[in-house]
Chains A and B, each alone.
Chain A
Amino acid sequence: MDDVSRGVNYYKLSAATREQREGDIAIQKRALELLRERFGEAILTVQTVRDDITVTIRPDTLKEMLALLRDSDELKYNFLSSITGIDYMRYDIPEEWGEIRFGVVYNLFSLEKHANFAVRVVIPEGEPVPSIYDMWRTADWQEREAYDLLGIEFAGHPDLRQLFLYDDFEGEHPQRKDYPLKGKGERDRSWLKIQKAARGES
């Protein structure tokens, strides 16, 4: 359980908003309970940042977990807000995740209960993530984006090809951490090295 400063923040401004937020937090906790009941060992870590819960899993239980969140009457997470691909190469990851490189975060929202939830799938390089195209069509282009810019493969996606970049783009997967930060590497000026030194990187 990883708790980062659980506290009320900008929601403090309005009492009515705070009430709504507490309802949201209650539903998220209930969702976590239901997931724990059914998928106990599959959950690697649970993180709570500003009262929002993120559950980290491996890709084999992804679709069943999302189906439970969507179909359960108490939860009804029927809206997929966003799919984010992350390259964890230079990040200090928790030990429970193992040797992984990429993460894909699915942010869900329940329109009826006004509640959030996030599910994170962690994978080493080369392992595909099951595509949730058949559950939500909005996953179509978001998964293609993660594939194009980061190189994460989605198994079962009907049309996994480039979205933003073009055929003869030099290099691959520019959002990865080992791709140059500015331009294609030709614009790396000396002050960038100063910045890295200040942060203790080489």
Chain B
Amino acid sequence: MATEEKIAEDTGHRIENMWLNFGPQHPSAHGTLHLIIEVDGERIVSSIPHIGYLHCGFEKLGEHRSYNQFTAIADRMNYLSPMCNDIGWSLASEKLFDVEITERCALIRMIVMELSRIADHMFATGMQAVDIGAFTWFLYGWRHREEIYDILERCCGQRLTTSYSRIGGLMRDMDDTAVEMALDTARRLPKTLDDMEGLLKRNRIWIDRTCDVGSFTTEQALNWGYTGPCLRAAGVPYDVRKDEPYLLYNEVDFDIPIGEHGDVFDRWNVRMEEMRQSARIVQQCCEKLEPGPINTPDNRFHLPPRERLYDNIESMIMHFKQVMFGHGTRPPKGEVYCRTEAPNGELGFYIVSDGTDNPYRVHVRSPSLMQFSAIPEQINGRMISDVVAIMGSLNIIAGELDR
């Protein structure tokens, strides 16, 4: 301080802190996040996050798309694990319409959701590692991600942005080969995870860069609305699959990993362990799978099979009724909120229905929004290189953040 005053006296110039732009075009490949940070040397004094660079008006789109059409749009929010958004939206719509799904449909939905969770965590931990400098991890993880893509492609034809589930059922059944591939992936995953962990878990550099960086206490995490791995790393055992179970999660055996310090290392560890638990769930579901129908017996929701469509006038009318604007399936009037456990946290859909075939209002509770809003509290007082580590650990997906 004395030096600064002397310089100010001698030269007449003041020394101020520098303001840096961190984003929106960003080497850390987290999408379009913008942080303006005030730095004093290498230390951060204050920061202001700016978002909205990927704001596309998803919620407004929901108002002129029917309930089944919004599945394709909901996919594009969290593009790392698209099945979870699909199925989350279908569950919310099914709650509104009061539709019961079959057991095979529930099990297949669980299988693909857990596979998506594994894929998302692979990418999230991969990006975290790349930010800190460990590129090999990212490429190891991609191999498994490609295998999961193969399974999803077998189910519905698309690798990413799948639009697989419909209200009351699924687009297409999962055939036996896909189930075997899923079982095979789930069986081989723990061994791969062991190999990958060996790269980083006891690595001196990794531990120095991640332990005690970005610690968040339990009270802070709950207050800021954290959910998912970030909240569990802070010590709160909140997982929607256990606390408000949906589908058949109550009938499979799995554990929830909880951290202690809420720092970057804990979040990484929680994600690694969750991948193992997801593999367990996939195995159990594949073993429980029995042949049967995947669509609800109620005909109002799913399109009739192609073979019957051109032969049967009732099927053709049914098809037209569901597809034409103004004539689609109508829910009762009301408002529902339904939450699911996306890989990032609690993904909730709040639907307001006015009794017509399009929703009146759709609101998406995105986990990334809460996690990014707490960034100033996490990084103030830290170094610039910690910002990268912390942002990587929160797994902020701009599509979901901005909607």
Contact = CB atoms under 8 A, between A and B. Distances in A.
**Do A and B bind?**
yes
Interface of A: 4-5, 7, 9-14, 16-17, 20, 24, 47, 49-50, 52, 54, 78-82, 84-87, 90-92, 105, 107, 109, 111, 114, 116, 118, 136-138, 140-142, 145, 149, 162-166, 174-175, 181-182, 191-192, 194-195, 197-199
Interface stretch (B145-153, B195-203, B242-250, B287-295): B242-250
A116 B363 CA distance: 17
A195 B357 CA distance: 10
Given A80-B225, A165-B55, A14 B251 contact: yes
Interface of B: 51-52, 55, 57, 59-60, 63-64, 91, 94-96, 98-101, 103, 106, 222-225, 236, 238, 243-251, 325-327, 332-337, 339, 346, 348, 350, 352, 354, 356, 360-361, 363, 365, 369-370, 373-374, 402
A142 B94 CA distance: 26
Given A24-B244, A175-B60, A138 B370 contact: yes
B348 A164 contact: no
A94 B103 CA distance: 38
Contacts of B374: 137
A174 B60 contact: yes
Contact of B244 (A47, A114, A149): A114
A118 B164 CA distance: 30
B95 A91 contact: no
Contacts, number: 154
Contact of B348 (A13, A82, A174, A175): A82
A24 B349 CA distance: 19
B287 to A, nearest CB: 17
A195 B373 contact: no
A9 B98 contact: yes
A81 B91 CA distance: 17
A181 B65 CA distance: 11
Contact of A13 (B101, B334, B350): B101
